[in-house]
Amino acid sequence: MEYNLSIDSHIGPWGYSKNFIRNQMSGLKNKPVNVRVSSLGGSVDDALDIRQQFIDHGNVTCYLYGYVASAATILATGAKKTCMSQYAFYLIHKVSNWIDAWGNYNADQIQKLIDDLKANKLENDKMDLVLANLYANKCKKKVDEILPILKEGRWLTAKEALEYGFIDEIIEDGTKLNFDDDMKTRFNMFHLPELPAQDKKTETKDDEAPNWFNNFVNKFLKPQNTETTQTQNKTQINSTQKFMKKDYQKVNSILKIDGMEFDKDGKVTLTEDQVKAINDHIANIEKESSDKDNEISDLKTQNENLKKNDGDETTHINGDEGDDDDITKLNSANEMFNNVKDLL
């Protein structure tokens, strides 16, 4: 199969954006367009725009391979015909967005956060309803029949996707995907559900996970072990959360820092230089304490020696001997004053 366009990466500004697709489609007017799709999704905004571009063109056929999820399924509904490999998987789900709410909140701030989250939920509900109508129109079903599938958010086989009406035809290209433990871990990192149980078999180029996805996960998200449960992934994320404390001022002074970072279990990580600084400080304190103990011991010894020796001889001075002389001088002065006072 020769494809005019291949969407095998992130849908949005850093991948296949609506502007990029528009530029590609501009040279394919009045021609049948075959689009190969193998993407885990991306921007809903870009996907809706690309969907409309396919509708406006009027003669687009989408071929789904590998893992096709989220925004990738949205744009595929704009095709005149949608074909899916019998070994591919299809996923639709309710919209989601990042919630940034971390810190200490008082009662008023908590209430504002609650109000903001309620408003956010209403916006998401609106988007879910729009998408449900979009899929229902493609499947020729009622919206109430599509909403439970969105809520369930599970991978569909090609047969299931055909039965629901998301695709128009199953094609025989390719072989079964090799969905190993490592791939399960990658899906968990993106909060995607595991695939239905399948017999393991070597995958072909059409069905293999796109390179952009493998490279991105290997570089930024691949954990050191390959445990596949979401519980462990959450534990790994929580273990990286740090809390700054400035309570231990003595230690902060020794390490010349403003505060120390503790994880949720109250553990702190120190560098080798910081451990050495604390060790040297304790060693200096112990040395100073030992020196003072020796000094006190020497003083006690000197004191005991002084007690054992006789004291120096002293000469006693009688204090009465000076008193008589002072009285004599005072009487003489008084007599002199009496003799001259009449002359004044």
Whole-prediction pTM: 0.55
Token pair of 26 as six digits: 């501009």
- Which secondary-structure segment (H or E) carries 36? strand 33-37
Amino acid identity, position 94: K
Q: Which long-range contacts (CB under 8 A, 24 or more apart) does 223-228 make?
A: 223/185, 223/189, 226/181, 226/182, 226/185, 227/185, 228/181, 228/184, 228/185, 228/188, 228/194
Residues 189, 213 contacting (CB under 8 angstroms): no
**What does the pLDDT read at residue 284?**
84
Does residue 219 fall inside a structural domain? yes
Of 288, 303, 318, the domain-final residue: 303
Q: How many domains does the chain have?
A: 2
Higher-pLDDT residue of 286, 89: 89
Looking at the structure, do residues 251 and 232 belong to the same domain, yes or no?
no
pLDDT band at 85 (very low <50, low <70, confident <90, very high): very high
Of 239, 255, 274, the domain-final residue: 239
Higher-pLDDT residue of 120, 279: 120
- The CA distance from 155 to 67, in Å, is 9
**What does the pLDDT read at residue 29?**
92
CATH number, residue 40: 3.90.226.10
Looking at the structure, do residues 164 and 246 belong to the same domain, yes or no?
no
- Is residue 268's pLDDT more than 80? no
Does residue 266 fall inside a structural domain? yes
φ, ψ of residue 191 to 5 degrees: the values are 60, 35
Does residue 201 fall inside a structural domain? yes
- Is residue 187's pLDDT more than 70? no
Mean pLDDT of the chain: 80
Alpha-helical runs (H) found in 99-202: 107-139, 143-152, 158-164, 181-189
> Each residue of 152-173: b (16+ CB within 10 Å) or e?
ebbbbbbebbbebbbbbebbeb
What are the pLDDT digits (tens) for 4-44? 999 999 999 989 999 999 999 999 999 999 999 999 999 99
Looking at the structure, do residues 273 and 172 belong to the same domain, yes or no?
no
What's the chain's Rg over C-alpha atoms?
A: 44
Looking at the structure, do residues 233 and 205 belong to the same domain, yes or no?
yes
Q: What DSSP state is assigned to residue 207?
A: T
**What does the pLDDT read at residue 241?**
54
pLDDT band at 314 (very low <50, low <70, confident <90, very high): low
- The CA distance from 281 to 153, in Å, is 58
- Is residue 227's pLDDT more than 50? no
Higher-pLDDT residue of 97, 322: 97
Q: Which domain holds residue 189?
A: 5-93+153-239
Does residue 235 fall inside a structural domain? yes
Looking at the structure, do residues 235 and 249 belong to the same domain, yes or no?
no
Higher-pLDDT residue of 127, 328: 127
Residues 279, 255 contacting (CB under 8 angstroms): no
Could you tell me what percent of the chain has a pLDDT over 70?
67
Looking at the structure, do residues 164 and 81 belong to the same domain, yes or no?
yes
